[in-house]
């Protein structure tokens, strides 16, 4: 998953106040927002307000504003839930901002929108605090390294690598503890599930992640970030023996394909894509399996991760895939892909007649032998 921010590009957040006061906005309703921005440095043209679907999902421009003398303004009705939006430059730079009610003030540099500082709300303040703390620890680590080199000189590659790993681990430990504290202390703010998704899902074990999720205030249960977090936790628990998640998806003939319609059969979910070389090389094995096991209490559902309908349909025909095929053209963000913890293709899930996951990611002759053996036992 690509992040729009990494430690290598975090910039120093000074928290500097605007040079002049922003005039009071006329608030027309309880969810009205006004964003008053200032761009330091030469900038001409427009900026855009961008909405992001899910964490790191597709982005859509929802508004634009002309920059005049380095200043711009957006106003409107805030979404029901406070989530990250972006102010986008004409060349694609992104300044993150929690879009929520009230007057928001954002200050940024023309050549580096990512370092923007937004004031006026709790969640934007929490993001600023997080970034300032991280920057402090990075700066401290750099100073410590400089002092060490001046006093002791550079050591061997092994010594330098050990020192680097020690300092990095120390900084990451401090950062993770800070994030845990912020989640627990501000557990009723959108920032809490946001920072868990953005920074903590790979650093925490499943048990730790579930425990920290349990710290979130119930008022956030319906928040999009909390729902995405719950989905991620469920995906981490995905394993052989669990109940196969229900789904429906539009098939190549336009009709809905639902898992429940195949109850009582062995069902192989075959995730693939026309652009995936290993998928195409594996497909003859799947074709062979279907020819030998079709009609024997067994079915295959092919689920493509294609984005272009023409490419998908051509591949289905060229590869001789005669079993039910489906595609939602959402690639990794598709609901079926997410429910089944998809991270790469080709990928297979074998579901038994009781509706439980029987096996994961079988391929080649092992796939054929396993299915045949199970079908023989079921007779």
Confidence check: pLDDT of 264 > 70: yes
Confidence check: pLDDT of 293 > 90: yes
What is the pLDDT, as a whole number, of residue 13? Answer: 35
What is the pLDDT, as a whole number, of residue 214? Answer: 96
Q: What is the mean pLDDT of residues 359-377?
A: 94
Confidence check: pLDDT of 75 > 50: yes
* Mean pLDDT rounded to a whole number for the chain: 89
Confidence check: pLDDT of 100 > 90: yes
CA 252 to chain centre: 28
Tokens of 290: 């279907």
Alpha-carbon torsion, ordered 129, 89, 201, 232, to 10 deg = 130
Q: What would the pLDDT profile of 230-260 be if each residue is shown by its tens digit?
A: 988 988 888 899 999 999 999 999 999 999 9
More confident residue, 342 or 371: 371
> CATH classification of 15-116, choosing from 2.10.50.10, 2.60.40.1120, 3.40.47.10, 3.90.1150.10?
2.60.40.1120
What is the pLDDT, as a whole number, of residue 379? Answer: 63
For residue 149, give the 3-state DSSP assignment. helix
Confidence check: pLDDT of 307 > 60: yes
What is the pLDDT, as a whole number, of residue 26? Answer: 42
Is residue 193 a contact partner of residue 222, using CB atoms and an 8 Å limit? no
Q: Which of 143, 140, 191 is nearest to 170 (CA)?
A: 140
Q: What would the pLDDT profile of 112-166 be if each residue is shown by its tens digit?
A: 999 999 999 999 999 999 999 998 988 888 888 889 888 888 888 888 888 888 8
Q: What is the mean pLDDT of residues 278-293?
A: 96
What is the pLDDT, as a whole number, of residue 310? Answer: 96
Q: What would the pLDDT profile of 190-233 be if each residue is shown by its tens digit?
A: 999 999 999 998 889 999 999 999 999 999 999 999 999 998 89
Confidence check: pLDDT of 369 > 90: yes
Work out the percent of the chain whose per-residue pLDDT is above 90. Answer: 71
For residue 333, give the 3-state DSSP assignment. helix
Kindly report whether the global pTM for this prediction surpasses the value 0.85: no
What is the pLDDT, as a whole number, of residue 156? Answer: 85
Per-residue CA distances from 376 to 10, 141, 296, 350 (Å)? 58, 63, 9, 16
DSSP letter at 217 equals: -
Neighbours of 245 (CB within 10 A): 19
Whole-angstrom distance, CA of residue 227 vs CA of residue 105: 29
Q: What is the mean pLDDT of residues 271-290?
A: 96
Confidence check: pLDDT of 179 > 90: yes
What is the pLDDT, as a whole number, of residue 15? Answer: 36
For residue 85, give the 3-state DSSP assignment. strand
Same fold for the pair 15-116 and 248-378: no
Q: Map out the domains of the chain as residue ranges.
A: 15-116, 126-236, 248-378
User: Which residue blocks in the chain are alpha helix, DSSP H?
Assistant: 122-152, 157-185, 191-195, 206-213, 224-236, 277-293, 309-318, 335-339, 364-378
Q: What would the pLDDT profile of 1-32 be if each residue is shown by its tens digit?
A: 345 554 333 333 333 333 333 334 444 468 89
More confident residue, 84 or 165: 84
Per-residue CA distances from 317 to 22, 225, 310 (Å)? 61, 39, 11
Domain made up of 248-378: CATH architecture: 3-Layer(aba) Sandwich (3.40)
Whole-angstrom distance, CA of residue 116 vs CA of residue 190: 19
């Amino acid at each position: 998953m690509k992040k729009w921010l990494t430690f290598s590009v975090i910039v120093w957040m000074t928290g500097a106040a605007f040079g002049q006061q922003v005039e009071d906005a006329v608030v027309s309703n309880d969810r009205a927002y006004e964003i008053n921005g200032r761009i330091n440095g030469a900038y001409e043209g427009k900026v855009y307000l961008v909405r992001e679907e899910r964490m790191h999902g597709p982005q859509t421009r929802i508004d634009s504003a002309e920059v005049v003398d380095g200043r711009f303004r957006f106003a409107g009705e805030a979404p029901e839930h406070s989530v990250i939006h972006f102010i986008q430059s004409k060349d694609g730079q992104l300044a993150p901002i929690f879009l929520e009610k009230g007057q928001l003030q954002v200050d940024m540099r023309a050549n580096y929108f990512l370092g923007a500082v937004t004031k006026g709300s709790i969640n934007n303040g929490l993001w600023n605090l997080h970034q300032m703390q991280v920057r402090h620890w990075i700066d401290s680590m750099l100073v410590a390294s400089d002092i060490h080199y001046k006093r002791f000189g550079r050591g061997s590659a092994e010594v330098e690598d050990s020192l680097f790993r020690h300092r990095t681990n120390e900084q990451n430990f401090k950062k993770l503890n800070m994030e845990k504290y912020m989640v627990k202390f501000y557990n009723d703010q959108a920032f809490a599930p946001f920072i868990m998704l953005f920074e903590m899902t790979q650093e925490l074990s499943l048990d730790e992640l579930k425990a920290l999720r349990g710290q979130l205030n119930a008022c956030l249960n319906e928040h999009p970030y909390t729902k995405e977090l719950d989905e991620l936790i469920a995906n981490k628990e995905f394993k052989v023996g669990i109940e196969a998640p229900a789904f429906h998806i539009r098939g190549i003939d336009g009709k809905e394909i639902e898992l429940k319609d195949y109850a009582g059969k062995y069902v192989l979910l075959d995730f693939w894509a026309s652009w995936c070389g290993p998928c195409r090389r594996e497909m003859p094995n799947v074709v062979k399996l279907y020819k030998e096991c079709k009609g024997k209490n067994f079915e295959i559902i092919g689920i493509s991760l294609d984005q272009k309908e023409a490419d998908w349909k051509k591949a289905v025909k060229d590869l001789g895939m005669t079993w039910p095929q489906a595609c939602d053209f959402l690639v990794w963000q598709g609901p079926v892909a997410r429910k089944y913890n998809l991270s790469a293709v080709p990928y297979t899930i074998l579901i038994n007649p009781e509706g439980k996951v029987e096996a994961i990611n079988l391929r080649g002759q092992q796939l054929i032998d396993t299915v045949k053996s199970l079908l023989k036992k079921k007779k």
